[in-house]
Structure 1
Amino acid sequence: MRASYAFADAWHLDAAPEAVRDVLVDLERYPEWWPQVRAVASLGPDEAWVVCRSTLPYTLDLVLRAVSRELPVLEVAVAGDLRGTVRFRLARRTSGRCCVSSRRSACPGCSGPGPRWSVRC
């Protein structure tokens, strides 16, 4: 049986949901604001190869594919060293701030479809 992981976060940002969505769907600019994202290469209008490295000594090769880019829910399918989904729910608060709820579920996986060069087992 494979291990699986689920994570949930929430952020409150001084920005409109539309502006937050524009940043979240622009994968090629992730390294500018997300330090763990080391490299991004576009594979098409809705797909990108992403290299991540955190404080753990692991580098993850991932292929992200946009499933939904429409507010209020953004969804991405993840393949490569991890397989799963990421969902962002964006809500406008009465204060004008944006609340971003994030849910990520993944399992380690090198099986299934995906570019062979994006997977290191």
Structure 2
Amino acid sequence: MRKFQLAGALVGAVALVGLANSPALAGTDVTVYGASLKTGCSYSSAAHFSSYGEVFTVYDKCAEGMSAVVKVDVAPYQSGGGYDFAIWNPNGADGSPVTVNKSYAEGTGVCMQAGSGEYRSGEWGGWGYWSCGAA
């Protein structure tokens, strides 16, 4: 009986060491929405950050003739309303989402703000709230 107890303790110890050496799953996904000016549309755009793989996906949610856009600010954060990059989805509400894959260290903060605009001219607005997650 004593052999089985020792074997069980050894298996448990090996399992704990394996867990301690595996990467932590500290990421936090985030989804943001852009304001809509068109009656019948809840949002003009939406963007999602998936912490697993650091994938950004931008959706055009309203057929109002504008493109979806998201501003992304990655830690260390920009001051004064700055951001690191923008992702546009000019495919229209019936088109496919735009996906961008990045690579960040685990725990890196990622903030986003969705809006809409004219893709060709770069004019934009209709911004929703900033919301943050982590890689």
TM-score where L is the length of structure 2:
0.25
Higher-Rg structure is: 2
**More strand, by proportion:** 1
